[in-house]
Amino acid sequence: MTEPRHIPVRVPVLARVEGEGTLELRVHNGAIEDLRLRIFEPPRMFEKLLEGRDYSEVPDMVARICGICPVAYQMSAVHAIESLFGVDPGPWVRAMRRVMYCGEWIQSHSLHIHMLAAPDFLGYSSVVEMAGKYAQEVRRGLKLQALGNDLIRLLGARSVHPVGARVGGFHRAPSREQVNLLLGKLRELLPEAEDLVRWTAALDLPEHEQDFTCVTLRHPREYPMNEGRLVSSHGLDIPVDQFETRFVEQQVAHSTALHCLLDGQPYLVGPLARLNLNLDRLSDPVRKLVNSLDIEFPSRNMHHSIVARAIEIVIAIREATDLLESCQEPRMPYVDIQPRAGSGVGCTEAPRGILWHRYELDAEGKVVHARIVPPTSQNQSRIEADLRESLQNFGPDRPEEALRRHGEMVIRNYDPCISCATHFLDLRINRWPV
């Protein structure tokens, strides 16, 4: 019998559940003089925890960083390590990784749309309250979330912190019977997902355009997910291994999380950035759906993020359907690995935006150094810039409760991985003269 491994990951897990966000405002004569979003980003600790661990342990360990987007952490990790080892796991693994990622996009986006964002726009304090009048919509959201979980489970054995992915592929391939079952559900829920897009686009979303830089992966043919170059709306176009030449993380005194900047400036990652820069990568049916909406993309209104998420659910359902329809059961679900020393980079599109990993391994495949740059850290400066502009427009002299609610709504557009914390946003206003 194998001895249980004791990996001290309990602190980050608790911190995610109990984390807090604090918005500090300093208002002078009706103008915002200073604004600070204080958040806590526990994944930093994982980089140290990974040191000395075997490469084969990395996918399961990094999956524990987040209960909502574990697949993203696994995917960035396996791509980084495989690039180091010079491994190509082949077309079946590539396709199934994309399927698994589709599952995560579907469940994460559906959860965010219904649990977090929609109540804001419909005037409710929670989905529980909203479900009274919008029961059908909430049921649809739960069905889509369950579909996403099922897709993750198909390849990951379980939906929370899945364990199916490994460097070189998957531990096992799903049976044709399991695939067919999922295909039936995907086909059944596609029309509901398309309805969801139209529903989000019909919400009474605030009109507020801003100027910001979008950053995403860009693939020659596909809507980006696991592969591509790093591009921006301001001309950036670099391979992912050059990330550190342009993107710099810096410490700020008011937050334990690092703020990542592109050439010293804030930028946006996530569904709206992805959609804005990859409209020409949409399939014909999705493009037709997007063109039928009253919203024009690319959009500079962050409140359109909810619509972008719904569109990405449709993209993911169609993509997973196509990939599962054409997949053949492989002879082996993974390729063998021969470790070697070196450094490898991986960058994939987590539901919340690009997730960049770099690993330095020794000749035995043990981690010497790891660096993980999550999307929430990349969006932080952008969130602060948005809050400053949005709250100034909203009126900093409004009552604290109104400012808190508006601030939370702005933050939730980014779906930060401190979503739980931003619902408990503690607002501190220092107004002078009083």
Partner 1 sequence: MNRRVHIIGTGSPFGDDRFGWAAAEALRDSPTLNDDAFRWIEVSILDRPGAMLPVHWQAADIVILLDAVRSGVAPGTRHCLDARNLPDADMLCSSHGFGVVSAIGLARALGNMPSRLLLRGVEADPSWSGFCLSPAVADALPAFVGDIVEEARVLSGFYVPAAANRG
Q: Which residues bind partner 1 (CB under 8 A)?
A: 4, 6, 8, 10, 13, 16-17, 67-68, 111-112, 115-116, 125-129, 131-132, 135, 138-139, 142, 145-146, 149, 158-161, 419-424
| Alpha helices by DSSP H, 327-394 | 375-394
- Find all residues with CB under 8 Å of 224, minimum gap 6, and list them: 216, 217, 218, 274, 278, 281, 349
Distances (CA, A) of 41 to 49, 66, 247: 15, 11, 18
Question: Rounded CA gap, 40 and 306, in Å?
Answer: 24
The residues with which 366 forms a beta bridge, in sequence order, are: 54
Angle CA 162–167–172, to nearest 5: 55
| Alpha helices by DSSP H, 86-175 | 91-111, 118-122, 127-130, 135-156
Of the pair 413, 419, the CB lying nearest partner 1 is at 419
Question: Rounded CA gap, 239 and 230, in Å?
Answer: 6
Give SS3 for 183: helix
Give SS3 for 64: coil
Question: How, if at all, do strands 342-350 and 353-361 pair?
Answer: antiparallel
DSSP states of 283-329? -HHHHHHHHTSSS-SS--BGGGHHHHHHHHHHHHHHHHHHHHHH---
**Crossing angle for the helix pair 135-156 and 91-111, to the nearest 10 degrees:** 150
User: HSE (CB half, 13 Å, CA atoms) of 156?
Assistant: 29
Contact 57, 77 (CB under 8 A): no
How many CB atoms neighbour CB 17 within 10 A? 10
Tokens 């035995």 correspond to what residue?
A: 364
How many CB atoms neighbour CB 207 within 10 A? 7
Task: Put the strands of the sheet holding 342-350 in their side by side order.
Answer: 342-350, 353-361, 367-373
Distances (CA, A) of 294 to 121, 204, 299: 17, 12, 12
Question: How, if at all, do strands 247-252 and 229-232 pair?
Answer: unpaired
